[in-house]
């Protein structure tokens, strides 16, 4: 069924306008949070100009979309005929294993720089290979302190993220399915908004002169860092938990547990959570891999994390940064390997009906 140009214009205009409004809201919040009171009128004037530009762009896209759709529909039979036409095949050319060629090129693109980094990290002694760079890194007290700190912050981030995401995803899937598009949009915001914007907003809202002065103490700053990392890992944790909930029949399990006399907390802790433990652990490993190497938020909050330590070593040493890169790479791939291993124990059939 072909859509009329009017319908295409209306849908394109609504989609463009919705995305533009969301971006304008984020832009307005950022302007208000990062400006002084005297500069607010100027920021509002710039925001009005942005709204005008967005309106013009939405109208232009809504006008061009039916023209582009009509052009595509006119060219589609020609494209299909060209695609279906047999191509002349050369015997020698067809014998080349092109899938393996593409695979080897892609593998070389990743393996060669990694091998060069490993080779460089082993040449701290001239003319011979040694593990002195790795020994220097592991024996550095700052490495031990920063890595331990980031590991503890990562574990706290995982716990807080689970306590927030699992009940929210369960309630949305069971009782509020209409809110699911909105929740998915909200969970994508940390991927859209840069980390430096988030941390400046946190500093502005929670500085020592605010109602909740978290940056006034080390414990408060650590708590702010954990909450910032929870927001940063929210897209990965939410999608992992939501995927796990799709593989089970949440409604039937909840109804059966309710008939047996279980309350809401018992249902969530002893019925739902054990069935999605693999998905939760996948999101947890992704969150930990993100937290371990994060630099921007930890640096601007002045926390002794592993990311700022790696940047400091990279600015002052030669061979140790290469060793640190290999160590962080191995840690990340171990996390990815654990996700793949846990995926083997995930349910293979989906109980979805939507």
CATH number of domain containing 150:
1.10.3720.10
Task: Return the number of other C-beta atoms located less than 10 Å from residue 215's C-beta.
Answer: 19
Least confident of 118-132, 267-281, 330-344: 330-344
C-alpha closest to that of 160 among 287, 338, 300, 303: 287
Do residues 207 and 297 share a domain? yes
240 lies in a domain? yes
Residue (of 265, 280, 197) closest to 231 by Cα position = 197
CA gap 231, 237 in Å, rounded: 10
339 in Cβ contact with 282 (< 8 Å):
yes
Q: State whether 188 and 327 are in the same domain.
A: yes
Shared domain for 103 and 56, answered yes or no, is: no
| 311 domain residue, yes or no | yes
Residue 349 has pLDDT above 50, yes or no: no
Q: How many helices (H) and strands (E) does the chain have?
A: 16, 0
User: Is residue 278's pLDDT more than 80?
Assistant: yes
Closest CA to 272 of 242, 296, 315, 234: 242
Same domain, 110 and 209: no
Whether residue 121 sits in one domain with residue 62: no
Of 296, 306, 297, 288, nearest to 206 (Cα)? 297
What pLDDT does residue 73 have? 66
Write out pLDDT tens, residues 132-155: 888 988 888 998 899 999 999 999
90 found inside a domain = no
H or E element in which residue 16 lies: helix 5-33
Which residues, in sequence order, are CB contacts of 284 under 8 Å at separation 6+? 158, 161, 162, 237
Average pLDDT of span 103-114: 87
Say if 349 falls within a structural domain. Answer: no
244 and 159 within one domain: yes
Same-domain check for residues 167 and 114:
no
Residue 140 and residue 10 share a domain: no
Establish if 84 belongs to a structural domain: no
pTM: 0.67
Where do we find the tokens 């500093």?
203
Q: Please check whether residue 79 lies inside any domain of the structure.
A: no
Question: Do the domain assignments include residue 88?
Answer: no
Same domain, 48 and 158: no
Q: Tell me, yes or no, whether 91 lies in a domain.
A: no
Q: Are residues 196 and 283 in the same domain?
A: yes
Number of domains in the chain: 3
* Tens of pLDDT, residues 19-57: 666 666 666 666 656 555 555 566 566 666 666 656 666
53 with 158, same domain: the answer is no
pLDDT tier for residue 328 given thresholds of 50, 70 and 90: confident
* Residue 304, phi then psi, degrees to nearest 5: -80, 65
Provide the domain limits for residue 104: 98-130
What is the spatial distance between Cα 156 and Cα 305, in angstroms, rounded to a whole number? Answer: 14
Q: Are residues 185 and 276 in the same domain?
A: yes
């Amino acid at each position: 069924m072909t859509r009329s140009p009017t319908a295409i214009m209306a849908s394109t205009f609504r989609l463009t306008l919705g995305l533009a409004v969301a971006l304008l809201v984020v832009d307005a919040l950022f302007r208000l949070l990062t400006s002084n009171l005297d500069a607010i009128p100027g920021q509002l004037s710039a925001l009005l100009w942005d709204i005008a530009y967005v309106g013009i762009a939405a109208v232009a896209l809504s006008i061009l979309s039916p023209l582009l759709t009509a052009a595509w529909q006119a060219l589609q039979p020609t494209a299909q005929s060209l695609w279906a036409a047999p191509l002349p095949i050369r015997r020698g050319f067809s014998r080349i294993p092109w899938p393996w060629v593409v695979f080897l090129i892609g593998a070389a693109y990743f393996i060669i720089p990694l091998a060069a980094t490993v080779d460089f990290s082993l040449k701290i002694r001239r003319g011979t290979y040694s593990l002195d760079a790795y020994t220097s890194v592991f024996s550095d007290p700052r490495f031990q302190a920063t890595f331990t700190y980031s590991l503890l912050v990562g574990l706290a981030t995982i716990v807080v993220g689970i306590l927030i995401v699992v009940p929210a995803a369960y309630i949305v899937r069971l009782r509020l399915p209409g809110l699911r598009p909105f929740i998915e949009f909200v969970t994508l915001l940390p991927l859209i908004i840069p980390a430096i914007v988030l941390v400046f907003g946190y500093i502005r809202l929670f500085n020592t002169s605010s109602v909740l002065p978290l940056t006034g103490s080390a414990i408060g700053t650590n708590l702010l860092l954990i909450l910032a990392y929870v927001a940063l890992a929210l897209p990965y944790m939410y999608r992992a938990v939501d995927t796990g909930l799709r593989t089970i029949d949440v409604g039937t399990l909840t109804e059966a547990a309710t008939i047996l006399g279980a309350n809401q907390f018992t249902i969530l802790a002893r019925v739902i959570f054990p069935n999605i433990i693999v998905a939760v652990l996948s999101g947890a490993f992704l969150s930990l891999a993100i937290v371990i190497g994060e630099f921007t938020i930890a640096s601007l909050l002045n926390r002794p994390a592993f990311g700022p330590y790696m940047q400091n070593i990279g600015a002052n040493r030669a061979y140790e940064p290469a060793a640190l890169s290999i160590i962080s790479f191995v840690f990340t791939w171990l996390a990815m390997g654990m996700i793949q291993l846990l995926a083997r124990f995930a349910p293979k059939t989906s109980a979805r009906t939507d």
